[in-house]
Chain A
Amino acid sequence: MTGGPGNAIELRGIVKRFGSLTAVAGLDLSVPSGVCLGLLGPNGAGKSTTMRMLTGQTLATEGSITLLGHALPAQSKQARMAMGVVPQLDNLDVELTCRQILSIFARLYRVPRSEREAAVTRALGIANLGARADTVVRDLSGGMRRRLLVARALIHRPRLVLLDEPTVGLDPQVRQELWTLIAGLRADGVTVLMSTHYIEEAERLADTVAVMSAGQIIAQGTPAELVRAHAGREVIEVYGPPAELTALTAEASRRGWSHRRSGPALAILNAERLDGDAPAGVRRPANLEDAFVALTGEEIE
């Protein structure tokens, strides 16, 4: 039942339509075992829909899915046995305590009776919720709830973990904690598929980033490869009065320079290729955000 070495996730030609709306439009994606792949895309790109197809909660209209060697949807349950899922929307039972939730999920994931208590203790440790084990979810902070959601997904030591926007809406400190937790998974050799629209999150955690837009993967590589391929080495940020920037934008378009608005400035990508023509401005190394905007045409956080 193992996928062995090779790919933990294989998506081939996946299409998902909801009526006339095409949420996923011919998606191909492979995630090798032990890799953390960041699915980076703007709102509505189809990230959650893709995740839900992997858990068997949405059926693909076309295409084939293989998870840990199991063909979906027929063998979806086998795949779910060895997979943990952190959904985008919190679906914890608010009336139950952390301990109750974790023991219920230990049973749902068929953790043998004799190992359940140890599994719950371990999961409480992962979420750093030992002191709050008997607090009902309703009384937990938003950050604690997120950590519990992650711990719930890890109760059975899955080989594959799906994280759908794990840190959305959290303050920076809690985000840092979750990042540490996810990095720990990666260090343990767990395969991770994480969707996000935070550039920094993808940059920090992902071995490979797949940029998703309008239901397709439009670019894939390590963060460094993506930056090099789509934003070059350097970016010049030009600051100035709006009229001047508008004029410069027009010139950049005319001369075929790849550019984008970046806060109050106009950023010219691939600046190292401009040589003498480059406008005066602040030079900085290109980053993943530059590449992302160049690829999707969308500004994100």
Chain B
Amino acid sequence: MNLETDPAAGTPPPGDRPPTPEGGDPDTLTRRPPAGHLPGPTHAAVPATVRVGRLEPAAISAVMARDIVMFKRYWRATTFSSVVQPVIYLLAFGLGFGSLVHHVGHFRYVQYVATGVVATAVLFSSAFPGMFNTFVRWRFQRTYDALLAAPIDAEELVTAETLWIAIRSGVYGVAPLVVGFFWGLTPEPAMLLVPFIGLITGFGFANFGVLIAAFAKTIDNFNYVTSAVLTPMFLVAGTFFPITQLPGALRTIAQFNPLYHCVALVRDLSLETFHLSDLLHLGVLVIFALLLWRLATTQMQRRLID
């Protein structure tokens, strides 16, 4: 499905990098002054203003700064995979299926699907990076080893990584709406809230991905989660058809699907059918996000610090 983008998902573990040949390195041939006598004041040490505690903004923003540098390098691939796939669903269902099914309730099918696929875009652009980036950076690239030797706690590390993914997926979640505008979806002011709904949902699913990565033995383990959890989740979220069409038991299960609440909330905001029950959807998403964040941070902490 949506392969993440940062460096390494899908590429061989950097542990297997071939050694770089040493010869002919011009830098090693030039002399330099001894390191001890370089210009500048000695031992700036820790600035007095530095705060040391839990969830320090400086620590979180520093880890995110790394993500942003990485993103600048890979944004094309990341964006392509995060946007194109939901748009394909939108076109295939909205236009293809839409020629058979014209309406769901009083919405036109294209409106129905375009607003529903927002959640799909958010899911794909958060759960997959959550799993793959974490596993690759932790196990293959030893990035987390490097970061944790600096004054960064595991909690800050996980929070920063998932927050960055969440911000991205909030933005990518808007893509289906933008595409929908070309097929008769009407822009509404309340749609400006969609990125925030995407951010909250994406934060939950990014942390879900991290939690899976914390337990995964190998990167192939993610296939089970994709097939057994994420795919069914995205199919029975009310994206393509109302969950009221499902048999009773499945309908009840679907109510526990966070993605269903994201779909419902985004749709009600975008189609101006917002009512009080949407606060319940929002509440579920917030609780889902906070719960998964706590689980992901505590489990990663236990595994990163042995």
Chain A contact residues, CB within 8 Å of chain B: 1, 18, 55-59, 77-78, 80-82, 85, 87, 89-96, 100, 103-105, 107-112, 115, 118, 122, 125-126, 128-129, 131-132, 138, 140-145, 156-159, 170-171, 173-174, 177, 180-181, 183-189
Could you tell me if B25 and A144 are in contact, using CB atoms closer than 8 angstroms? yes
Contact of A128 among B27, B62, B63 (CB under 8 A): B27
Could you tell me if B305 and A59 are in contact, using CB atoms closer than 8 angstroms? yes
> Which B residues are in CB contact (< 8 Å) with A104?
62, 65-66, 69
**Cα A111 to Cα B148 with chains together (Å):** 17
- Say yes or no for B19: interface residue by CB 8 A criterion: yes
Instruction: Report if A144-B27 is in contact (Cβ < 8 Å); known contacts: A108-B150, A156-B44.
Output: yes
Q: Interface size of B by Cβ–Cβ distance < 8 Å?
A: 53
Could you tell me if B151 and A109 are in contact, using CB atoms closer than 8 angstroms? yes
- Say yes or no for B225: interface residue by CB 8 A criterion: no
- Say yes or no for B43: interface residue by CB 8 A criterion: yes
| Across the A-B interface, the 7 shortest Cβ-Cβ residue pairs | A184-B36, A184-B35, A91-B142, A187-B36, A107-B62, A85-B149, A108-B150
- Say yes or no for B220: interface residue by CB 8 A criterion: no
Could you tell me if A78 and B52 are in contact, using CB atoms closer than 8 angstroms? yes
Known: A55-B149, A118-B40. 19 other contacts (CB 8 A): A56-B148, A59-B305, A77-B151, A78-B151, A81-B151, A87-B142, A95-B7, A107-B65, A110-B47, A125-B32, A126-B38, A141-B22, A156-B44, A157-B43, A157-B44, A183-B34, A184-B38, A186-B36, A189-B43
Could you tell me if A95 and B152 are in contact, using CB atoms closer than 8 angstroms? no
Could you tell me if B70 and A96 are in contact, using CB atoms closer than 8 angstroms? yes
> Which A residues are in CB contact (< 8 Å) with B45?
81-82, 156-159
A34 to chain B: closest CB distance in Å? 11
Contact of A142 among B22, B61, B73 (CB under 8 A): B22
Interface of B is mostly: loop
Could you tell me if A56 and B20 are in contact, using CB atoms closer than 8 angstroms? no
Closest to A145 in B: B20
B34 to chain A: closest CB distance in Å? 5
Instruction: Report if A57-B27 is in contact (Cβ < 8 Å); known contacts: A110-B47, A112-B47, A118-B40.
Output: no
Closest to B68 in A: A104
Q: List 9 A-B contacts (CB under 8 A).
A: A77-B152, A82-B46, A104-B69, A122-B40, A143-B22, A171-B22, A180-B35, A184-B36, A189-B42
> Which B residues are in CB contact (< 8 Å) with A141?
20-22, 25, 28
Q: Most A CB atoms within 10 A — which of B14, B43, B59, B146? A: B146
A175 to chain B: closest CB distance in Å? 11
Contact of A92 among B19, B58, B62, B146 (CB under 8 A): B146
Could you tell me if B17 and A94 are in contact, using CB atoms closer than 8 angstroms? yes
Contact of B149 among A80, A173, A185, A189 (CB under 8 A): A80
B303 to chain A: closest CB distance in Å? 12
A46 to chain B: closest CB distance in Å? 14
**Cα A140 to Cα B24 with chains together (Å):** 12
> Which B residues are in CB contact (< 8 Å) with A122?
38-40
- Say yes or no for B188: interface residue by CB 8 A criterion: no
Instruction: Report if A128-B52 is in contact (Cβ < 8 Å); known contacts: A95-B73, A110-B46, A156-B44.
Output: no
Could you tell me if A93 and B38 are in contact, using CB atoms closer than 8 angstroms? no
> Which A residues are in CB contact (< 8 Å) with B298?
none
- Say yes or no for B106: interface residue by CB 8 A criterion: no
B83-116 interface mask toward A, CB cutoff 8 Å, 1 = contact, 0 = none?
Answer: 0000000000000000000000000000000000
**Cα A183 to Cα B41 with chains together (Å):** 18
Q: Most A CB atoms within 10 A — which of B145, B150, B151? A: B150
> Which A residues are in CB contact (< 8 Å) with B27?
128-129, 131-132, 144
> Which A residues are in CB contact (< 8 Å) with B141?
91, 93-94
Could you tell me if B61 and A107 are in contact, using CB atoms closer than 8 angstroms? yes
**Cα A205 to Cα B69 with chains together (Å):** 37
**Cα A58 to Cα B149 with chains together (Å):** 11
> Which A residues are in CB contact (< 8 Å) with B44?
111, 115, 156-157
Contact of A174 among B14, B22, B26 (CB under 8 A): B22
**Cα A104 to Cα B146 with chains together (Å):** 11
- Say yes or no for B161: interface residue by CB 8 A criterion: no
> Which B residues are in CB contact (< 8 Å) with A156?
44-46
Could you tell me if B52 and A77 are in contact, using CB atoms closer than 8 angstroms? yes
> Which B residues are in CB contact (< 8 Å) with A100?
69
**Cα A87 to Cα B148 with chains together (Å):** 11
- Say yes or no for B30: interface residue by CB 8 A criterion: yes
Contact of B304 among A1, A57, A89, A105 (CB under 8 A): A57
- Say yes or no for B143: interface residue by CB 8 A criterion: yes
Contact of B34 among A78, A82, A180 (CB under 8 A): A180
Instruction: Report if A177-B147 is in contact (Cβ < 8 Å); known contacts: A95-B7, A156-B44.
Output: no
Contact of A87 among B26, B59, B145 (CB under 8 A): B145
Could you tell me if A59 and B306 are in contact, using CB atoms closer than 8 angstroms? yes
Could you tell me if B149 and A125 are in contact, using CB atoms closer than 8 angstroms? no
- Say yes or no for B50: interface residue by CB 8 A criterion: yes
**Cα A142 to Cα B145 with chains together (Å):** 19
> Which B residues are in CB contact (< 8 Å) with A87?
142, 145-146, 149
**Cα A145 to Cα B25 with chains together (Å):** 12
B208 to chain A: closest CB distance in Å? 25
Contact of B306 among A58, A85, A96 (CB under 8 A): A58
**Cα A103 to Cα B47 with chains together (Å):** 17
Contact of A108 among B17, B25, B73, B147 (CB under 8 A): B147
Contact of B150 among A103, A109, A140 (CB under 8 A): A109
> Which A residues are in CB contact (< 8 Å) with B43?
157, 159, 189
